[in-house]
Amino acid sequence: MNGLVAGPLNVHIGRRPILHDVTLGPLARGTVTALLGPNGSGKSTLLRALAGLLPAHGPITLNGQALSSLSRPAHARLCAYMPQALPPPIRMQVMESVLVSLRVQGGSLHDEAFSQAMETLSRLGIADMALRFMDELSGGQRQLVGLAQALVRSPDLLLLDEPLSALDLRHQFTVMDLLRRETKKRRMVSVIVLHDLSMALRHTDVATMLAKGRVLASGPVREVVTSAILAQAYGVQARVEDDASGMPMVCVDGVV
Amino acid sequence: MKSSDVIVARHAWTSLIHRRLGVLAGLTAALCGCFLANLSIGPVPLSLSSLFHTLLHGNDGSAAATVVWHLRLPFAVMAILTGFALGLAGAEMQTILDNPLASPFTLGLSAAAAFGASLAIVMGWHLPFGAAWGGEGIVAVNAFIFAIGSALLLDLIARWRGGTRGTVVLFGIALVFTFQALVALVQFVASEDALQDLVFWTMGSMTRANWPKIAVLGGACLLVAPWSLRSAWSLTALRMGEDRAASLGVNVPAVRLASLMRISILAALAVAFSGTIGFVGLVAPHIARRLLGEDHRFYLSGSAVVGCLIMSCASLAARGLLPGEVLPVGIVTALVGIPFFLATVLRDGRTS
Ligand SMILES: Nc1ncnc2c1ncn2[C@@H]1O[C@H](COP(=O)(O)OP(=O)(O)O)[C@@H](O)[C@H]1O
Ligand SMILES: [Mg+2]
């Protein structure tokens, strides 16, 4: 079985159950999945469980391999995860932080590593920042560096927690566009937590909607982002319409 | 993507590494100068040539040789080793607790170790095989037990859900006061003889240095430093956040525990042999970070060397400030360290 299949998963933090019988997938290689849901619905928790940072009760298999049986380093070789929190403003160069991301697993810093790092930075449009220090960058710029740290490792499974939260309009667009192209090209499974539903409609293939730690809907993104499901998940009255150029968008009219 | 960009980046990286190596070499050179000054300056001044002669020919019984081999050399070497231990311990502590105010002194490790040591002195405990050590062995072991105990406690608080940076600092300060009160209590009930010993611990001084102690602390530094450098990449990754490091494949709990072991060994031995010496473990990491950045291969070594340098300068100042008197080094480092500590607190408060 190719791609990611997870669940049913149950996750507890301390004694508190957070996720209840959550299933995800099968998500084919080369597809971008949007993970949607209101605040506190368990999106970050699910992503952390997939990244192996939280113990999950239930199976997670990637390309036929059970992820839970892997050691931490072996897991990290297959899977790159970007946390919701921005990279901290520390006295480290952008280039250096990307190289650390490549080097932690061992090996040496050969020319290959430098070209990989520079290529990733230039794809994200921040090659000119390579030699700047993280404590001199804005939040959005650091978020791009965080993305570079994840992308540079060419994982099989890419998990991004709200990668657009600090980005301006232009970068939101270029990042989503880049993620879609890279996902296809490298045949990754990408799971991305998003708050912007129009963005999800335009730039992702499939979606899973969480609410209160359970899956509310799952499937092609146009079938998940609908008035009925949005009303149920967020408690809003919303319409999904096509704009003048035929692109789908979500308009919120009020609360129910 | 142009290949010229890669070459430029590669070149910039190489020159950055070279600059950092240069800074490390400069610090080491300054340390050597300070070390020699420590040996030649004093009530009996020695010229550099006679100093080298004495060092090369061993202790031949002359007055100069006796001064160098029995007094100045042990003090100077002990000062450097203590600085090394405190600088390295402080650097690791600031990383694993993710806190710029962490150091063995500010968060109570030194106080705990001093209490462990004073307990052993006052109770007159002895190791069964430690007769040759005159009780020093058990003092060091007891200091270590208390140091690791409080280090584990601090780690627990730091990882406790809802435990913020502020919580850790406040808890550390509580540890400092608790153990200082306990040391005072022990002093109160101690006999005249033991009291003499105890005052030494609370001030921090090199005057009890001897070659066996130097061998133990030096051996510990030699063991711990490579162990520490082996975790350098993991610790660097940890600076980018715990989750990020874990997702890169770092076994965070294991790295933390190993680091706490090293910190406790270094802090406990430094306290057991030199008493509580404040602020070196706090200041050295900050200077190293400014000069060398966050790459822990350089940051850890840099902090250790800066610690050596500070202690070496302080022990020079301790002999020079009051003519004819040798001040306890701990007093000197505290006087210099407190303004720096305040500056750090103020800067940290502004940015966070
Ligand atoms: N460390 C934690 N300890 C206790 N509860 C937590 C913790 N992290 C998250 N939770 C709880 O789990 C639920 C889901 O959180 P999260 O996955 O962060 O939501 P989302 O990312 O969808 O906004 C929330 O109700 C939150 O209160
Ligand atoms: Mg979240």
Higher model confidence: residue B298 or residue B347? B298
The proportion of chain B whose per-residue pLDDT surpasses 90, expressed as a percent, equals 28
CB contact (8 A) between residue B236 and residue A100: yes
CA B208 to chain centre: 17
Q: Which residues of B touch A115 (CB under 8 A)?
A: 1, 3, 6
Counting ligands in written order, which one lies closest to the CA of residue A161? 2
Option in B1, B236, B294 nearest A122 (CB): B1
Q: What is the dihedral of CA B50, B53, B58, B64, to 10 degrees?
A: -10
Higher model confidence: residue B167 or residue A100? A100
Option in A14, A80, A118 nearest B247 (CB): A80
Mean pLDDT, range A150-168, rounded to an integer: 92
Q: Is the pLDDT of residue B162 over 60?
A: no
CB contact (8 A) between residue B293 and residue A51: no
- Identify the band that residue B6 occupies on the pLDDT scale cut at 50, 70 and 90: confident
Residue A129, CB-side half-sphere exposure with 13 Å CA sphere:
24
Any alpha helices (H) in chain A, and if so which ranges? 43-50, 72-78, 94-103, 111-123, 139-151, 169-186, 197-203, 221-224, 227-234
- Identify the band that residue B165 occupies on the pLDDT scale cut at 50, 70 and 90: low
Residue nearest to atom 27 of ligand 1 (CA): A40
Residue nearest to atom 6 of ligand 1 (CA): A13
Task: Say what the pLDDT of residue A107 is.
Answer: 63
- Identify the band that residue A50 occupies on the pLDDT scale cut at 50, 70 and 90: very high
DSSP A104-141: TTS----HHHHHHHHHHHHHTT-GGGTTSBGGGS-HHH
**Gap from CA of B316 to ligand 2 centroid (Å):** 55
Residue nearest to atom 25 of ligand 1 (CA): A40
Does residue A37 line the site of ligand 1, with CB under 6 A?
Answer: yes
**Gap from CA of A46 to ligand 1 centroid (Å):** 10
Residue nearest to atom 7 of ligand 1 (CA): A13
Domains and CATH numbers, chain B: 77-351 (1.10.3470.10)
Q: Is the pLDDT of residue B307 over 70?
A: yes
Mean pLDDT, range B162-178, rounded to an integer: 80
Q: Is the pLDDT of residue B130 over 60?
A: no
**Gap from CA of A44 to ligand 2 centroid (Å):** 4
> Ligand 1, from A13, A191, A234: best to mutate by most atoms within 8 Å of Cβ?
A13
Q: Identify which of A83-87, B126-130, B205-209 has the greatest average pLDDT.
A: A83-87
Option in B5, B240, B247 nearest A122 (CB): B5
- The token duo for A169 is 């309009």
- The token duo for A189 is 């499974």
Residue nearest to atom 14 of ligand 1 (CA): A42
Does residue A3 line the site of ligand 1, with CB under 6 A?
Answer: no
Mean pLDDT, range A208-226, rounded to an integer: 90
The proportion of chain A whose per-residue pLDDT surpasses 90, expressed as a percent, equals 38
Taking the alpha carbons of A195, A197, A203, A209 in that order, is the dihedral positive or negative? Answer: positive
Q: Identify which of A166-175, B126-135, B181-190, B314-323 has the greatest average pLDDT.
A: A166-175
Q: Which domain holds residue A200?
A: 4-255
Q: Is the pLDDT of residue A206 over 50?
A: yes
From B151, B160, B171, B113, select the one nearest B261 (Cα to Cα). B151
Q: Tell me the pLDDT tens digit for each residue of B131-149.
A: 445 556 777 788 888 888 8
Q: How many domains does chain A have?
A: 1
Share the mean pLDDT of chain A: 88
Does residue A45 line the site of ligand 1, with CB under 6 A?
Answer: yes
Option in B3, B233, B246 nearest A53 (CB): B246
Task: Say what the pLDDT of residue B131 is.
Answer: 47
Is residue A43 within 8 A of residue A77, CB to CB? The reply is no
Mean pLDDT, range A6-16, rounded to an integer: 86
Task: Say what the pLDDT of residue B92 is.
Answer: 94
Task: Say what the pLDDT of residue A86 is.
Answer: 92
Q: Tell me the pLDDT tens digit for each residue of B55-87.
A: 887 777 777 788 888 888 888 999 999 999 999
Q: Which residues of A touch B243 (CB under 8 A)?
A: 48, 53, 81, 83, 85
Min Cα distance B6 → chain A (Å) is: 5
Mean pLDDT, range B213-239, rounded to an integer: 92
Q: Tell me the pLDDT tens digit for each residue of B261-294.
A: 898 889 888 888 888 888 899 899 998 998 898 9
Q: What is the dihedral of CA A134, A136, A137, A143, to 10 degrees?
A: 20
- Identify the band that residue B352 occupies on the pLDDT scale cut at 50, 70 and 90: very low
- The CATH number assigned to the domain holding A236 equals 3.40.50.300
| A223 SS3 class | helix
Q: Which residue of A has its CA nearest to B12?
A: A131
Share the mean pLDDT of chain B: 83
Q: Tell me the pLDDT tens digit for each residue of B234-269.
A: 999 999 988 899 888 888 888 888 888 898 889 888
**Ligand 1 atom closest to A46 (CA):** 17
Mean pLDDT, range B144-166, rounded to an integer: 77
Q: Which residue of A has its CA nearest to B254?
A: A72
Numbers of helices and strands, H then E, in chain B:
15, 0
